[in-house]
């Protein structure tokens, strides 16, 4: 890899695409040239990067000539079509979609958890699902000290997880609701203002689990390299613009105390403890938004488990940053 690689952003006009560029700039990523790629309808638009104006180009099969690293966030179908083309042209692809996550030959990477897998890539590295990242960044250091046998998660997922159009729908539907106007949802299946509903991914009619939940279960096992870990999860969409929250209860192989968990997480990479019982101040999307750490709080004994093996906690992380763009840029930093 060049010391100053040429980087392409695929899906540059989307919510995550914009965060790719912001992360590269804020973290002073040592790139030589930035290419911004999007659909034909966005070609010719511009974006600012390090004080320069970048003209957005149409994504084509010839877009990757001279590209060293390609950051993809344009949906699974685009990744499946263009990622192999980018690899053939000589680029390393870091893909934010679900297209390659469960491919045994593709590393599924959270840099705080399994950075060693990056060097095993064969041209493509997969970014995990945002809910998976939010849960596993704080769970991994605990798992290393005292193996986690079972984890139960309930998510509170922001509109950012469904893209810029869903964020706009939340804003517009809320405005309409407050003004007493009707608003027909176009992006999400249910009214979004002042409402919560089951995550909008497809539900398996046999198991009752939706695609988002299945992703977290499978990805956790792959990243932890532990097919025996038991994962139960319910994913819910909430009327928050960005930053997901998760209520997590985990059961360890040996007894564990809340003080031990705090000690483990106090110096864990990518984690910030926000756990003030006196002020009733715990992780919130408003605090998680715009920064890269996973906020962890409400750390307490699970009173339903008399064996002392289980802990409950509440976490929040910015879906657009650590849940997507930041995680990918951290992977790119390992490459250079």
Q: Residues with catalytic annotation?
A: 130, 244
From the list 317, 266, 265, 264, the residue with the least C-alpha distance to 294 is: 317
Tokens 């010839």 sit on residue: 62
| Residue 215 burial (C-beta neighbours within 10 Å; 0-12, 13-18, 19+) | buried
């Amino acid at each position: 890899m060049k010391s100053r690689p040429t980087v392409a952003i695929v899906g540059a006009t989307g919510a995550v695409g914009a965060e790719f560029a912001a992360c590269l700039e804020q973290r002073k990523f040592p790139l030589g040239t930035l290419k911004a790629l999007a659909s034909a309808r966005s070609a010719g638009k511009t974006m600012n990067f390090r004080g320069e104006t970048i003209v957005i180009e149409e994504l084509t099969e010839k877009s990757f000539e001279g590209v060293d690293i390609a950051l993809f966030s344009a949906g699974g179908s685009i990744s499946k079509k263009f990622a192999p083309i980018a690899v053939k042209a000589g680029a390393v692809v870091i893909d934010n979609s679900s297209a390659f996550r469960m491919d045994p030959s593709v590393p599924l990477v959270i840099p705080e958890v399994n950075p060693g897998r990056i060097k095993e890539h064969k041209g493509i590295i997969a970014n995990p699902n945002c809910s998976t990242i939010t849960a596993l960044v704080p769970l991994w250091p605990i798992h290393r000290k005292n193996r986690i046998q079972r984890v139960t998660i309930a998510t509170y997922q922001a509109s950012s997880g469904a893209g810029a159009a869903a964020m706009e729908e939340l804003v517009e539907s809320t405005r309409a609701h407050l003004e007493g106007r009707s608003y027909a949802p176009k992006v999400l299946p249910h009214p979004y203002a002042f409402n919560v509903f089951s995550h909008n991914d497809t539900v398996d009619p046999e198991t009752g689990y939706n695609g988002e939940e299945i992703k977290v279960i499978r990805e956790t096992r792959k990243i932890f390299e532990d097919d025996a870990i038991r994962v139960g999860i319910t994913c819910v969409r909430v009327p928050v613009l960005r930053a997901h929250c998760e209520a997590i209860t985990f059961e360890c192989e040996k007894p564990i105390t809340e003080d031990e968990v705090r000690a483990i997480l106090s110096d864990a990479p990518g984690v910030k403890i926000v756990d003030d019982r006196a002020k009733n101040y715990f992780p919130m999307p408003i605090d998680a938004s715009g920064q890269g750490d996973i906020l962890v709080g409400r750390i307490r004994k699970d009173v339903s488990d008399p064996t002392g093996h289980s802990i409950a906690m509440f976490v929040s992380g910015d879906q657009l940053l650590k849940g997507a763009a930041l995680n990918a840029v951290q992977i790119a930093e390992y490459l250079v």
